[in-house]
Structure 1
Amino acid sequence: MTLSIDLTSAQTRASLGASARLPEKPSLVGMSRDEMAEALGEAGVPERQRRMRVQQLWHWLYVRGVSDFSQMFNISKDLRVQLDRHFTVARPEVVEEQISNDGTRKWLFRFPPRGAGRPVEVETVYIPEEGRGTLCISSQVGCTLTCSFCHTGTQKLVRNLTAEEILTQLMTARDRLGDFPDAGTPDGAIVPAEGRKITNIVMMGMGEPLYNFEAVKKALLIASDGDGLSLSKRRITLSTSGVVPEIFRTGDEIGVMLAISLHAVRDDLRDMLVPINKKYPLEQLMDACRKYPGLSNARRITFEYVMLRDVNDSIDDAKELVRLLRGIPAKINLIPFNPWPGTNYQCSEWETIEKFADYINQAGYASPIRTPRGRDILAACGQLKSESERMRKSDRLALEAMMIAGHGEA
């Protein structure tokens, strides 16, 4: 049974218009240490104290997960009041939390307005698995890429997310999962006794991360900082549809694992499925992959390949995929197509997917078939879309009918 919790109070909904008129305090979340020191100086913190205060704040924000200055117990009360007057460390509003029958969770987060803009909403998904938990994070509100099989691509781009908004998706998810230590016990364990629930993050949510490179870079460097959230860069994967000029920079400046949304092995088909291919065709994309910094058998590129019935799932496609990836340390994630209301695509037959995987495996590439997760709450790959364009009840019924009829069944 799917559980959906609407966490927006009537009072909150009524105040949304007023919130756009409130003065905007900068958030300390998402600032580098140097930026934080400079901001503290502008707020009146003496220069001789700034390095120590940055260290304290970094610990409270990213190790303890505190979202209120009043809980920073080793900082004087007067300074806490001063910090609260100038800055915020608040989380986004959690509008809705949906829990799939397979344990997948999807949150709808609402961020306050920026400048003259309005509040915006994004979706973030947590996928629990044996021995690990993966958080799928969004980098933009909407998307410009219009990939024809992707639900997110039907929502126009509203704006890029800031480094703060990217990071607070992770931090709020850790709040909801009990993945931060108790702020009231400063001598307690750094992580809960049973270990972290979020062990991996993937930039595979709404938007194209490499069209928001600087904010994504800043957020991921903070997420992987050893004195804070401390996620290994080998447990962070950035997925791109093929923004070729930024691929080398991703490896060189961020150093995380790379995933490519491939989905087709011929330019004519990929032009239709992933239109950015018209700008950066397969030859350029493969060349950029071969030059990815740190590429090795221990740091392979993941190629994502959605299985579309009678579109890209033939053995000839599998043969061309093997030829295309020759010389690139790689694994291929085969993704059974996840249906959404209004789509014209269907998932490949299970037997077809298995034959496709067998061919690639025999050619020496790992090709796991991704188990669909969270389909019943539209949390699966390619299904995310802001609930600002909230799915109507009729759409939910249409999705259920598609599932029962076997469309996209894997």
Structure 2
Amino acid sequence: MATMGTTRTRERFSLSEMFAALGLALGPVVALGFSRFAYSLLLPPMREQLHWNFAQAGGLNTSNAIGYIIGTLITAWVAQRLGNRLTFLGSMAISALILLLSGATSTYTMLLVLRFIGGISTAITFVLGSALAARIRPTLMPVYFTGPGLGIIISGIVVPTALTSGSGGWRLGWIILGVAALVALIPTWLAYRTLPKQNTQGSAMLRLGDFRKLSPTFFGYLLFGAGYVTYMTFVIALLHAQGATPWMSALFFIILGIASALSTLGWGPILARCKGGWGPAIVSAIVLTGTLPVLLYPGFPSALVSAIIFGGSFMAGPTAVTGLCRRHLHSSFWTAGIAIMTAGFAVGQAIGPVLSGWLSDYTGNISAGVWLAPILLLLALVIAVFQQEHRLLEEHKHDNNTGHKDHSTTRSS
């Protein structure tokens, strides 16, 4: 009987962990799926009705990315002072408010400001959520990264429906996403309450030596961010230029989201076997491959192939980098480490869209700008290979077991 009771306790704890991971996954649903990726669907009608060029359209994403950089850099500091719960849920609430306000104005300057503030809040949500997910159980980390795919699927259904309402449909799209983000706060709060107490502790600031050891990952992740977001920002506009209808674009977006949500769960075991920077390198190679069909063979069948390959791999990038930080850093540095890596990621996201938009305007051909994506991803692949594996995991386990607080003597191989 005692054995049965123990087994049942373990099962209940396992279900609690899964519930916590799913609840945390609503953070990237809002932070990435709604706040960042839905812009790709809303961009064509906004650009047409508000008379923007491609550089202006990319500028909104650059403003968002600059805010995202700031958000990643202050996440650990804010979490130390306000606590993880208030910081995580508060940043989600701010993101929801930004989505609602984005549907209330057509002024470019105001939209720039809103995208900037939204970048700060969504970065805090994503970075802190990644660190919290890493503390639950390594095998459940991929569950957290299904969030962006789920957000893309929801956006792919909601936004095209809203656009059918007329010229103001893009406003309605932002507002519906904002309401959905507010609703998501409830299950996220309930799930957060199930996290063990040790998962809500503050985080230490990252040491310079640790950053140096992870510098290839940092710069590779920067280029990965620039490449993937260039594709995500302008691929819908590219499909429109190739003759795709709004519903074709929506189907493309939904398939991309489904591929992302389903494949993310399978990336965990694969990336766990990769040492050094081979995980990010493999992901960069597949994401690069996913950008090519829609560029080399214009047409909807190629677009669907692109959606499946790209969608099935792009969120494995954050999964790989989060796992790499988990292996190489003591748990007290996870939030700060992930934040620094995500800051590099965000720098790339700030550069990619505006540079791509400028290339499209300069050449008068949007595909010229989108070609920047595979070039940047190739560079990310090359740099990621230089990341070496450091034997920190075993030593950190020893520190955790013995309760040592001084980690200054931790060595790498």
Q: Do Structure 1 and Structure 2 share a fold, with TM-score over 0.5? A: no
More strand by share: 1
Larger Rg computed on CA atoms: 1
More helix by share: 2
TM-score (norm 2): 0.22
TM-score (norm 1): 0.23
